[in-house]
């Protein structure tokens, strides 16, 4: 549960509610048993803020516009297929769709997106939101 995507998947399984108040403060609410997950999320506030709109369903996709695109594919840490992207929070090779599936449907694996499909998704999500500290 150390990487952000895995942490958000654990949060989803624990049914934690993530919100950002109007003053920019990240709030994590849920059952007391999920406190370790909540603490881990709060320890990575800046990274969580970048993904909270996707987590809450207020954005259809993760904002990976500023991620690194690899010249040479590496194995996706989630599905094992070759991929050309690094998860921007943890800099681990990952398909964007694999990361999105892990957060939205923890435990479910789906076929990796094609490289062409990933390219289409980069910068194609229409999001531009700031994440105040």
Considering only residues 7 through 46, tell me which ones interact with Zn ion, judged by CB under 5 A. none
Cβ–Cβ < 8 Å for 89, 52: no
Which residue reads 């105040």 in tokens?
Answer: 132
Q: Does 53 bind Zn ion (CB under 5 A)?
A: no
6 neighbors 102 (Cβ within 8 angstroms): yes
Q: Which is nearer to Zn ion, 37 or 88 (CB)?
A: 88
Part in contact with Zn ion (CB under 5 A); list of ranges 23-31, 49-57, 68-76, 84-92: 68-76
φ, ψ of residue 120 in degrees (nearest 5): -60, -35
Closer residue to Zn ion in complex, CB, 34/93: 93
Among 20-28, 37-45, 54-62, 70-78, the segment contacting Zn ion (CB under 5 A):
70-78
Of 5-13, 18-26, 60-68, 72-80, the segment contacting Zn ion by CB under 5 A is: 72-80
Residue 18, SS3 per DSSP: strand
**Measured torsion, CA atoms of residues 68, 56, 14, 122, in degrees rounded to the nearest 10:** -20
Helix (H) or strand (E) holding 40: helix 35-43
Query: Cβ closer to Zn ion: 16 or 98?
Result: 98
Closest residue (Cβ) to Zn ion?
Answer: 76
Interface residues toward Zn ion, by CB under 5 A: 76, 78-79, 95, 98, 112
């Amino acid at each position: 549960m150390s990487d952000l995507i895995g942490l958000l998947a654990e949060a989803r399984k624990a049914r934690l509610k993530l919100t950002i108040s109007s003053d920019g403060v990240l709030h994590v609410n849920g059952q007391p048993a999920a406190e370790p997950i909540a603490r881990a999320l709060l320890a990575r506030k800046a990274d969580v803020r970048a993904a909270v709109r996707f987590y809450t369903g207020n954005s259809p996709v993760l904002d990976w516009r500023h991620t690194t695109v690899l010249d040479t594919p590496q194995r996706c840490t989630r599905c094992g297929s070759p991929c050309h992207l690094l998860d921007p929070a943890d800099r681990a090779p990952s398909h964007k769709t694999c990361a999105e599936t892990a957060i939205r449907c923890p435990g479910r694996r789906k076929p990796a997106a094609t490289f062409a499909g990933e390219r289409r998704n980069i910068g194609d999500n229409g999001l531009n939101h700031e994440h105040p500290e």
